[in-house]
Amino acid sequence: MPAVSHAEMRTAAEELASTFTRTWNMRDGPGYGEAYWPDAELVDPTGQIWGDRDAIAQMHVDLWSGPGQSTEATARVRRFRPIGPGAMVLDLDVEVKGFSPAPPGAWKDADGTVRSHLKHVVEKRGGEWKIFSSQNTFVAAMPPK
């Protein structure tokens, strides 16, 4: 595979962050899942492993029908780094408001925001950039200084 430009990777990273935000806020499970390759894997913040695109999409549909039903999310690209000619590590900072109660292991700050760091391994296959592997980690409460 020929080398991919920094600009192309940046565009793909920004598009994936936008897709995360849009599909989360629309509660669009199939759309959410389309950001992942069929053979993808997601480790959620509780450590549960979701073993393919369909399972990842369904887990989010289930989340949105429970405590996540009235949430609003934003995702921002923190950084991306190439790891090969058609692959990158993409780090997203995610904020979700509206959980009641907070998910297991999550901490809500004073305005009710749950923050997490979402790390993706993203691959380009057949001209498309999609997520192959993902790890989501809640940001813990920090002790006061």
Q: What is the pLDDT of residues 4-23, one digit of tens each?
A: 899 999 999 999 999 999 99
Domain contains 143: no
Domain contains 100: yes
The structural domain count of the chain equals: 1
Domain contains 127: yes
Domain contains 1: no
* Strand ranges, E, within the chain: 36-43, 49-50, 72-84, 87-97, 113-125, 128-138
**pLDDT higher than threshold 90 for residue 114:** yes
- Which pTM was predicted? 0.93
CATH number for the domain that contains residue 17: 3.10.450.50
Domain contains 145: no
- Do 118 and 75 form a contact (C-beta atoms < 8 A)? yes
Domain contains 107: yes
Q: Which domain holds residue 71?
A: 6-138
- Partners of 28 in the β-ladder: none
Task: Show the tokens assigned to 24.
Answer: 């989360």
